[in-house]
Structure 1
Amino acid sequence: MDSSRIHSVGPLINLNVGGKRFSTSKETLTWVTDSFFSSLLSDRISSFQDEKGYIFIDRDPKLFRCILNFLRTKEVDNYEIDVKALKREAEFYGIHPLVSRLTVCEELERSSCGDVLFHGMLPSPSLPRPSLDDNSQNETFSEQLSLAPAEGKSLGDPHKVLLITGHNSWIAVAYSHCVLCYKVKESCGWQQVFVSPYLPDRVRRVAINAKVQGMAPDSKTRMVAAAFSSTIRLWSFQDDVTFAEIGTFDMAARIDALFFIGSQLVSTGRSASRAGGRVGVWNAVSQHWQAQDVVTLTSYDTAGSFLLLGGVNGAIYYIGMCTIKD
């Protein structure tokens, strides 16, 4: 292929797909990385041109119109077209985000979800197993795998999603004994970027902060926390599988809620030592954890950088998180 002919038309790329001509931009064709088009336009795939200099692709032009419109809008139009055939074309062109959405469409055709529109689907991941030097935990884990599906013990199934929460373009998912985090990337959909070690206790709460300020000079640092009965474990991680455990904190209370306000991790619960409530805060800047007894809490919410707590005594506590000191 004479690449000079491609660039001679400026920002436009001219294609002849199955005898029908299309014109679009290089940016439209190549925003999905490692696709057929990125390889084609970098000369990693050989091609031919028709008499007008259009790059010839011997595929179905009707299906390609759907492919091109998805690349332009990042949306799946409601075409009266064979979903399986379109999915095959998307697989041929390497348009992975479209393949993911069409896979969901195929599932909908076999389900009773009606016209509910799903954006995508994440398959069940590979979950961490207990350490090999802990035989008792290994036996328990094996029993869960073998007994839960057979006896319908869904609470003991380690593959059951217990909790899910999101922040910006990130989500954190809690299974029985681990926590996973995903980030959505425009070019390839949801990607797993963090998996915790095997956690011997059952996860009861989970929280994620995708934009931590003041903790470290690396702006890509994220945090995810998991709560058990009265204990919190907190990790930081990057855009890959590398991570570090920040610490383990004791609430001395049964944890009812776990969430971030800015760069501070907040937990609320019921005191184990006496009647009443308890609030715990970890500050990302000072790296300090503190917990305090309060009246029994009946509700909570956030308002910007403020924490709102409703008490059993009728009072409403309005706490400015930025004013909390060590």
Structure 2
Amino acid sequence: MSNFQEIVNLNVGGTKFATSWHTLTWVPDTFFTALLSGRIPTVRDETGAIFIDRDPNLFSLILNYLRTRDIDLNDVNLRALRHECDYFGITPLSRRLALCDEINHSSCGDVLFYGYLPPPLNVPIPGSNNGRNSATVSRKNSTASNAEGTVNRTHSRNSSLDLRTVGRIPSQDQLSRCGRGHSRAASLGNAEILKGLRSAEGNTWNENMKVQIIKAHHNWIAVAYSHFVIGYRLTDSCGWYVVFQSPVQDSPIERIALNAKSGSSATSSGNNNAGTDVMLGISSGPLVRLWAFSTHAEPVRRTLIGTFNLGVRVEHLLFVGPQLVALSGGGGGRSKAGVWHTSTQHWQTQDVPQLSAHDTAGSFLLLGTAAGTINYIDMQKFPLRMKDNDLLVTQLYKDPNQEPITAISVYLTPKTNLCGNWIEIAYGTRYGSVRVIVQHPETVGHGPQLFQTFTVHQSPVTKVSLSENYLISVCSEYNHVRSWRVTRFRGMISTQPGTTPKAAFTVLALEAPTAQAHNDAGPYGEQDEEQIFIQKVVPDTDTLYVRLASNGKRVCTIRSVDGSGVSCFVVAECEGALRPRRLLVCGHRSGAAQLWDLTAHIDRAARPPPAPPTDAPAPRAAPPGEGEESPVGDGGPSADELVRLLAACDLDAAPAAPTARPDPAPAAPAAPPLAPAPPTPRAPDRPA
């Protein structure tokens, strides 16, 4: 076929095309040049046309480009078209489409992007002496063995020298903390260089440097890798900067807890005359290590408070005030609780009824059990019984059907701080029930009283949240969410007009069971404000969906600025100079952490829609029994987004489906695991 004018007949996916040899071959080194030169074997149909098993609609766009060297991209799926261009090797068009995609996805992020914390340059190796023998850690060398690494490791949200206050010159201390001459672009450049240097180490380095866990408290975040933890602090003048690093651990870190106590002179403007004391706890297996970091002045002083043994694997690690609490809900009916008390410097463990849920309220730790009881520990009282080795675990309430309690949420009404006995508790059970119990002044002396029961779930309830305005529950069936609007009178939950259904939707998340604790969908947020879900659909993805917990409405979509997959995330409530900020902090497989400011978008999404014009027709009245809102269809990923995400997920490797709810429920049901496993994925019949 040497004649440029020779006609070539093609059958692309069942659609016939006729074009010239020259049209198909003017771009060199493509699929067509190889096909027409005989380097690729051809298959012909009954008419003799060359058969190509591709999408004819997309092929028609490519063929039109080869004919006219121009293309109309209106109503075209750019991702699919670019994939076809890559297949056929049409490099000029593929480059144009790639540029269009890059323009829409800047490495500087969008308006939500708040900061980038690059991975550490020097990777501590377990068993070495790096960071293990020194009790003094300086801000300038807390994550590096030389001064050179300091500049690249400390990072400012904006420029390195933040001069937003007119006429104000940063001090030398601020310059050293911010890292002179550093910017996010430089950090990304270092990361690219390191990729080439570490490629030979392959998966081992990637697993060690992947961010495993992120915890936040006040204006502090702790970023945990496999064997060490780095602590960052936020100030308005310098943004985020490194303050401390934990010693390198021989065993992989499984849980961490962070507690930051702000001093009276430590403000968000960066003036830390009194400083901020930080406590960091980590656990590996049954062992818990606790450090205190004194950040009043240079150098930062690190003190190992102690290494404690719970006796069983630690499944939850948290602070209740300044007290460190370790919990285990092991099988066989054996659970343990361990508490380190600040004032007495005493570690105490005790066997407790099998734990299946927990929550905190002030100085109280509430424990839900597989026997259907809610117990509590008062952290301020149990030191009085240290001689008896008793944590004073006290039963508060027992479920009327003795259903195992799998989720619990405590709401302290505004009067609680004055009289201490106005408390409301919502809890979910293994058999799908959601109950609300209350203890108001008129019920003091009789214990909490059952207020409401909802039986809308057919799978175990995994999450429940009771806030000022809403009651939200989540079950294990693809994270199916139900929400109700709560009516209050003088701060207390009321029956007039009562709790009304708000919405039903699904927060689909196909996360591996071992990673669920660090990829918790939520809900996140204080109980007196709008709460949100963070939806991570598949394990290895760079995209998160932020949704309102009350109705499932999508607030925004978060995409990694460097394309790396999200390995963990948390929502941090940070104090600012003007107003609090709600930040989404994402840990990535590249070892970096990325921050996104959700404050304005949440406020905008939660704002009620504008009132319709006075001459507009009245809206249709809801039928009897219908809630305020139907299931929200624009909240989670669209059908196209969901298919694209699921293409990278192995659905055959998902956990098994949960056991159906028995009917009737036995009097003494079997104990569930501490965290019910999600069902086997199938095509959801609710909006994702």
* Common fold by TM > 0.5: yes
Between the aligned partners of 1:148 and 1:220, the Cα distance in structure 2 is 41
1:297 aligns with 2:355: yes
Q: CA deviation at 1:220?
A: 3.2
Is 1:264–1:281's contact at 8 Å kept on the other side of the alignment? yes
Moved over 4 A (4+): 131-134, 145-149
| Aligned equivalent of 2:106 | 110
| Aligned equivalent of 1:265 | 324
1:209 aligns with 2:259: yes
Q: How does 1:237-252 map to 2 (within 5 A)?
A: 237-239=293-295, 240-252=299-311
**Letter paired with 1:172:** A
**Letter paired with 1:170:** W
1:322 aligns with 2:383: no
Between the aligned partners of 1:121 and 1:107, the Cα distance in structure 2 is 20
Q: CA deviation at 1:153?
A: 5.7
| Greater relative CO (CA pairs within 8 A, separation 6+) | 2
Between the aligned partners of 1:241 and 1:172, the Cα distance in structure 2 is 16
Q: How does 1:145-224 map to 2 (within 5 A)?
A: 150=202, 152=203, 157-211=207-261, 220-224=276-280
Is 1:261–1:302's contact at 8 Å kept on the other side of the alignment? yes
Aligned residues: 203
| Aligned equivalent of 1:34 | none
Q: 1:282 aligns with which of 331, 340, 343?
A: 340
Is 1:267–1:280's contact at 8 Å kept on the other side of the alignment? yes
Is 2:291–2:306's contact at 8 Å kept on the other side of the alignment? yes
Is 1:178–1:198's contact at 8 Å kept on the other side of the alignment? yes
Is 2:329–2:356's contact at 8 Å kept on the other side of the alignment? no
* Secondary structure of the structure 1 residue equivalent to 2:358: strand
**Residues 252 and 160 of structure 1: CA distance in aligned 2, closer, same or farther (over 3 Å):** same
**Letter paired with 2:209:** H
1:255 aligns with 2:314: yes
| Aligned equivalent of 2:291 | 235
Q: Which runs of 5+ in 1 are unaligned?
A: 1-105, 135-144
**Residues 108 and 184 of structure 1: CA distance in aligned 2, closer, same or farther (over 3 Å):** farther
* Secondary structure of the structure 2 residue equivalent to 1:293: strand
**Residues 186 and 107 of structure 1: CA distance in aligned 2, closer, same or farther (over 3 Å):** farther
1:119 aligns with 2:122: no
Q: CA deviation at 1:279?
A: 0.6
**Letter paired with 2:327:** T
Give the TM-score of the pair, scaled to structure 1: 0.56
Between the aligned partners of 1:210 and 1:280, the Cα distance in structure 2 is 21
Q: CA deviation at 1:219?
A: 6.8
1:23-79 per-position Cα deviation (integer Å, ceiling 9, x unaligned): xxxxxxxxxxxxxxxxxxxxxxxxxxxxxxxxxxxxxxxxxxxxxxxxxxxxxxxxx
Is 2:336–2:352's contact at 8 Å kept on the other side of the alignment? yes
* Secondary structure of the structure 2 residue equivalent to 1:157: helix
Is 1:269–1:278's contact at 8 Å kept on the other side of the alignment? yes
**Residues 190 and 282 of structure 1: CA distance in aligned 2, closer, same or farther (over 3 Å):** same
Is 1:147–1:153's contact at 8 Å kept on the other side of the alignment? no
**Residues 108 and 174 of structure 1: CA distance in aligned 2, closer, same or farther (over 3 Å):** farther
**Residues 295 and 148 of structure 1: CA distance in aligned 2, closer, same or farther (over 3 Å):** farther
Q: How does 1:57-96 map to 2 (within 5 A)?
A: none
* Secondary structure of the structure 1 residue equivalent to 2:380: helix
**Letter paired with 1:109:** H
Is 1:194–1:242's contact at 8 Å kept on the other side of the alignment? no
Between the aligned partners of 2:373 and 2:335, the Cα distance in structure 1 is 13
1:198-257 per-position Cα deviation (integer Å, ceiling 9, x unaligned): 1000000011110189xxxx7732210111111101000122543111110001011111
| Larger fraction in helix | 1
**Cα RMSD (Å):** 3.1
Q: CA deviation at 1:191?
A: 1.0
State percent identity of aligned pairs: 41
Q: CA deviation at 1:270?
A: 3.3
1:128 aligns with 2:124: yes
Is 1:212–1:223's contact at 8 Å kept on the other side of the alignment? no
Q: 1:312 aligns with which of 367, 370, 385?
A: 370
Between the aligned partners of 1:148 and 1:252, the Cα distance in structure 2 is 40
Is 2:289–2:306's contact at 8 Å kept on the other side of the alignment? yes
Q: Which runs of 5+ in 2 are unaligned?
A: 1-101, 131-196, 264-273, 387-688
Question: Computing the radius of gyration over CA atoms, which structure comes out larger, 1 or 2?
Answer: 2
* Secondary structure of the structure 2 residue equivalent to 1:197: coil
Give the TM-score of the pair, scaled to structure 2: 0.27
**Residues 268 and 132 of structure 1: CA distance in aligned 2, closer, same or farther (over 3 Å):** closer
**Letter paired with 1:282:** W
**Residues 318 and 206 of structure 1: CA distance in aligned 2, closer, same or farther (over 3 Å):** same
Between the aligned partners of 2:103 and 2:334, the Cα distance in structure 1 is 48
Q: CA deviation at 1:132?
A: 4.2
* Secondary structure of the structure 2 residue equivalent to 1:158: helix
Q: CA deviation at 1:111?
A: 5.9
**Residues 132 and 222 of structure 1: CA distance in aligned 2, closer, same or farther (over 3 Å):** closer
* Secondary structure of the structure 2 residue equivalent to 1:198: coil
